[in-house]
Amino acid sequence: MSILQVKNLGVKIENKIILNNITFSLKGSESHILFGPNGSGKTTLVGALMGLPSYEVFSGKIFLMKKDVTSKSVEERANLGIALGFQNPPEITGIKLADMLKLCAGKNPKEDFSKEERELVEAFRLGDFLNRDINVGFSGGEKKRAEILQLIFLKPKLLLLDEPDSGVDVESLRLIANEIQRYVEKSGSTALIITHKGDVMEHVKAKYGCVLLNGALHCFTNPIRIYEEIKKVGYEECVACRKRNMEGW
């Protein structure tokens, strides 16, 4: 069943068109990889799907589980099951990681974590960070671990992950990717993962990938093949060689 359907989406930032006529859909129990050079609009795409106010949708529609969410607020989309893992999450003084996790799990701040939740925290090696202000003084990898853990606590239908592998050490990457894979399989949800590197695909079993270039999506095919191609000939050549534009998954 399709979890996300995007039809002819156009997005502007401060009146400048970044994305135009984007169409694709994502099925459940699968992960999808989104490639694209810096500045191609990957972050804009996931931001617009989450409904962040800096991204203005000027055309098209977004459906989550067949429900039109195009004009829904960030909070409504979060409650309907869209979750975004930020590339650079903010540091917020006075709000503890434990508070954030409880918020995500829909718990009252005074409630304790369940045994399962506590095990997840430990698996993410964040037990010592629970009483620290969220992201304040966290290393790059610690921020990413905290971000993915929050997403799993949110139990979303659609995970949007903006470079979950940047600045992350090899061990943390394996951990993050394995947990994403486990969650997607178990929950029947779907993940859209933005990456510049191939390592994440060693642990996340993604059937499809695509390339975002010049405001449009291209090459809907096996992400490992796309990645190898990009490494060899670059984004422009990769997109030019395959005539799969606009086909979608």
Instruction: By CB under 8 A, name the binding residues for another protein.
Output: 50, 52-53, 73-75, 78-79, 83-84, 86, 89-90, 92-95, 100, 103-104, 106, 133, 150, 154
Rounded CA separation 7/165 (Å) = 28
Q: Which residue's CB is nearer to another protein, number 159 or number 184?
A: 159
Cβ of 249: how many Cβ atoms within 10 Å?
Answer: 16
**CB of 86 vs another protein, minimal distance in Å:** 7
Q: Any residues with CB less than 8 A from the CB of 143 and at least 6 apart, and which?
A: 89, 135, 167
* Secondary structure tally for the chain: helices H, strands E: 7, 10
**CB of 90 vs another protein, minimal distance in Å:** 5
**CB of 146 vs another protein, minimal distance in Å:** 12
User: Which is nearest to 66 in space by CA: 158, 180, 151?
Assistant: 158
Q: Which residue's CB is nearer to another protein, number 89 or number 223?
A: 89
How many Cα atoms within 13 Å fall on the side-chain side of residue 18? 20
Q: Which residue's CB is nearer to another protein, number 183 or number 220?
A: 183
Q: Which tokens belong to 102?
A: 């409880």
**CB of 217 vs another protein, minimal distance in Å:** 23
* Amino acid occupying residue 98: A
- Quick check: 43 and 212 in contact, CB under 8 A? no
Q: Which residue's CB is nearer to another protein, number 86 or number 183?
A: 86
Q: Which residue's CB is nearer to another protein, number 36 or number 156?
A: 156
**CB of 97 vs another protein, minimal distance in Å:** 12
